[in-house]
Amino acid sequence: MVTPAVVLAGTRSGVGKTTIATGIMGALARRGLRVQPFKCGPDYIDPSYHLMACGVPSRNLDTWLLSHDTVLEFYGRAAQPANVAVVEGVMGLYDGHANLTEQGSTAEVAKLLRTPVVLIASAARVARSVAAEVLGFQKFDPSVNIAGVVLNGVGSPRHLEFCKPPIEDATGLPVLGYMPRRDDLRVPERHLGLIPTVEGVVVEEWFDKLTAQVEETIDLDRLLEVATQAHTPIVEPSIFPAQSQSQPRRARIAVAQDKAFNFYYQDSLDLLEAWGAEIVPFSPLYDEVLPSEVGGVYIGGGFPELFARELSANSSMKRSISDAHAAGRKIYAECGGLMYLGETLTDFDGEAHAMVGLIPAKSSMSKGRLTLGYREVEALAEGALLSKGERVRGHEFHWSVADSPASAEQATYTVCSQDGRIEGFRDGSLWASYIHVHMGSRPGMARRFVGECARS
């Protein structure tokens, strides 16, 4: 049986997708429905809002990082037990990896899942012209099933009357509801976008107000009717082991999870568990030492720059990680994890804080431009995730800068899409890089990491 599903896509970034998606998810969950959330693209922060709304982890669906069959496999595993699936898009509906193709876009995901799209359009500073915008999205690719519209930023009932009837007349699409212009429903932001809910800034009061507004001005019954148009194909497992290949526990892997480090793809962690890992969370901020008897350490991205003083002060944890490296334990770090393993981290105020010191590099918060984009990388040596010469797709997203290693003898990767730029750092059992990698991007990668951790 196919799970009812809907894709919530925007006309552009900043149109209110996350706010509206979180409110719709929360309102449906409060009806007693089991709602499975998803996020298009390589995003870590929006899924934290989905988790808050639905009570279950959100899953990333990225048709550039992952093969189409892998996206369908991840989607099917998570959506099957749910009453309804809600997929939040990325950027604008048709924005993706390239300028002349749909690769990596919300539109590509919607077509792959055969799922209807509800288009979120801004009514701010516009009236009848919003109908022309919606009509353009409808005509741009008729194979995308745009099945309804939600308006954001409506100023008054009269303003709604200048927007809703023209849309329905010009496109034949129902306007399923709207969100009024309310500053108190905006989600708090900073340098990398929305603030993750794990930091406790997003309060229950905000979520309650948001959900109440959605229940008042968005027709959830009609939205659920639209969701029944989903006809998602089912695929056989290929990234996860089949049930007949269930794996025994082979390795304990310590995963950094606290306010400073919380950027992980849920399916990556699930893949590690499926291939025999016992995931053991730990906090570089608050724990004194690593969990006992671990064969590997995984330190993902996050915001170490905001907690640099506390991370620096936890000397016993820094020693524990250094001892694990000296003992040959596998250590894999991404972005914020790389910054933490370096010599120093200079925060926004220009103050340098001593970090673990396993990487001969100093990182600092850049006053310049954001480094952002998809990357394809090639391993320069044998490592816990890849063999020398193997390639994998990933994503880079950071304001900080770090000293680069002087030669390929120290680097982790060459970046294939950037003239072989050297990236990251390696030292024996340690691999670190600014590149975020999804464990499902390359078949066998999760199994290899678990096996390497078991051997160490």
Query: Exactly one of 40, 163, 335, 453 is catalytic; which is it?
Result: 335
DSSP letter at 63 equals T
Residue 93 near residue 122, CB atoms below 8 Å: no
Give the Cα separation of 11 and 342 in Å (integer). Answer: 40
* Angle separating helix axes 17-30 and 204-217, nearest 10 degrees: 80
Give the Cα separation of 165 and 142 in Å (integer). Answer: 22
* Angle separating helix axes 46-54 and 17-30, nearest 10 degrees: 20
Beta strand ranges found along 163-272 (DSSP E) = 175-180, 189-190, 193-194, 251-256, 261-263
Give the Cα separation of 44 and 257 in Å (integer). Answer: 13
Give the Cα separation of 62 and 336 in Å (integer). Answer: 22
Give the Cα separation of 328 and 262 in Å (integer). Answer: 25
The tokens for 88 are 């939040």
* Neighbouring residues of 73: CB distance < 8 A, sequence distance ≥ 6: 235, 237, 238, 239, 240
DSSP letter at 248 equals P
H runs (alpha helix) in 242-348: 266-274, 308-313, 315-326, 336-341
Name the nearest CA neighbour of 321 among 360, 362, 290: 290
Residue 64 near residue 374, CB atoms below 8 Å: yes
Buried b (16+ CB within 10 A) or exposed e, 162-194: bbbebbeeebebbbbbbbbeeeebebeeeebeb
* Angle separating helix axes 68-79 and 106-113, nearest 10 degrees: 70
Active site residue 335: yes
3-state class (DSSP) for residue 165: helix
Give the Cα separation of 451 and 325 in Å (integer). Answer: 17
DSSP letter at 196 equals P
Residue 428 near residue 341, CB atoms below 8 Å: no
Residue 66 near residue 38, CB atoms below 8 Å: no
The tokens for 59 are 């899953």
Beta strand 261-263 with 277-282: parallel, antiparallel or unpaired? unpaired
Q: Which residues are catalytic?
A: 335
